[in-house]
Amino acid sequence: MIFAVPVFPGSNCDHDMVNALRDVLHAQAELVPATTSDLSTYDAVILPGGFSYGDYLRSGAIARFAPVMTAVQAFAAAGKPVMGICNGFQILTEAGLLPGALQANRSAKFICQTSELIVRNTQTQFTTTYTENQHIQLPIAHGEGNYYCDAATLAELQAHHQIVFEYADNPNGSVANIAGIINRAGNVLGMMPHPERAVEAILGSIDGLGLFNSLLTNQGQEVTHA
Amino acid sequence: MYLVKVYVTYKESILDPKGEAVNDALHRLGYTNVQSVELGKYFELRLTASSRPIEAEVDEMCDRLLANVNMETYRYDITELEAL
């Protein structure tokens, strides 16, 4: 399984992601520039955190029109796994690959801390190695991580079990404590917390490993609902 | 040539913590009669006429890039500029 990690101008968690994939998980991973227009040789795409294009205008608003995002749209439409972390999540919502939007934190502060999450859906190709309702510790680092969607969208998310991660102690004001969601098709996941920063004990947590191990175990195959 | 002034603001249901921070700062400066501050974005576009109606073009630009219609609304004024 070969991972592509697109690098936008202003991405800053791209190397952390490749470190997690290559050095910790011994998987194949390559950084690809935002000008890439073909991702057909890859098996999974992970949009990294950072401040793409300075996050000018809105977080992710300019990145979503980078050439690589046309390729990501096609990649996702083909049913292959796409994961967006932090700024990657913001890009996925701006691109319309996930519903809703990320607005400024309720406190108006940039929040950088370890956050406790609850895994609410383990029947996805990204989360099979967790147990349902497991509490995990992952770092968050964002100024605009306050997930917003309207009531109709929230009802859809709940009805189709698309809320994958919830905050135990909602730090940013997100609707329904949402920390991470998946699309209806089950192959596009976005989350504000950083699993790639929680892959070695020396980093304070290894709870992020579950996401990557799930992807590597499922090899891009949809998880059938029991 | 047209001058288009675009104003993007949050929908009413959306929190505006930056606007609240400015509101609080005005209060600290003694302007306690300020009831609320909404902080939005302002764009000035200068563009030439194309084959499409300018309103349709500006609507599309707002929907695709200038505003996030999940949480923002927009309005704009169009002025035709005299050719130099």
In a domain, A224, yes or no: no
pLDDT digits (tens, 9 = 90+) for A138-157: 999 999 999 999 999 999 99
Q: How many domains does chain B have?
A: 1
Q: Which residues of B39-58 are buried (b: 16+ CB within 10 A; e: fewer)?
A: eeeebeeeeeeeeeebeebb
pLDDT at A226 over 50: no
Banded pLDDT at B15 (limits 50, 70, 90): confident
Amino acid identity for residue A179 in this structure: A
Kindly list the residues of chain B whose beta carbon comes within 8 Å of any beta carbon in chain A: 13-18, 20-21, 41, 65-66, 68, 70-71
**Is A149 close to B70, i.e. CB distance below 8 A?**
yes
**Residue-range definition of the domain harbouring residue A99:** 2-218
Chain A partners within 8 Å of B16 (Cβ): 104
**Rounded CA separation A30/B82 (Å):** 53
> Which of A100, A107, A148 is the closest to B17 by Cβ?
A107
The two most distant CA atoms of chain A are separated, in Å, by 43
| Predicted local distance difference test score (pLDDT) of residue A155 | 98
In a domain, A225, yes or no: no
CA of A166 vs chain B CAs: smallest distance (Å): 20
pLDDT digits (tens, 9 = 90+) for A171-210: 999 999 999 999 999 999 999 999 999 999 999 999 999 9
Lowest mean pLDDT among A125-134, A169-178, B11-20, B40-49: B11-20
Lowest mean pLDDT among A19-28, A129-138, B14-23, B24-33: B14-23
Q: How many CB pairs under 8 A join A and B?
A: 37
Does A194 participate in catalysis according to the annotation?
A: yes
In a domain, A157, yes or no: yes
Over range A67-71, report the average pLDDT: 98
Contact A189, A84 (CB under 8 A): yes
Cα A112 to Cα A24, A117, A197, A211: the distances in Å are 23, 15, 12, 21
Chain A partners within 8 Å of B20 (Cβ): 108
**Residue-range definition of the domain harbouring residue B10:** 2-80
**Is B15 close to A103, i.e. CB distance below 8 A?**
yes
Q: What is the CATH number of the domain that holds B41?
A: 3.30.1280.10
> Which of A108, A150, A173 is the closest to B21 by Cβ?
A108
pLDDT at B42 over 50: yes
Mutation test of the interface with chain A: which of B41, B43, B71, choosing the one with the most A Cβ atoms within 10 A? B71
User: Which residue of chain A has the CA closest to B43?
Assistant: A57
In a domain, A223, yes or no: no
In a domain, A48, yes or no: yes
The reply to whether A100 touches chain B by the CB within 8 Å rule is yes
**Rounded CA separation A14/A41 (Å):** 19
Q: What is the CATH number of the domain that holds A209?
A: 3.40.50.880
Pick the catalytic residue: A13, A86, A142, A149? Answer: A86
Q: How many domains does chain A have?
A: 1
Over range B40-67, report the average pLDDT: 96
Banded pLDDT at A34 (limits 50, 70, 90): very high
Q: Nearest to residue A220, comparing CAs of A186, A196, A194?
A: A186
Chain B partners within 8 Å of A61 (Cβ): 65, 68
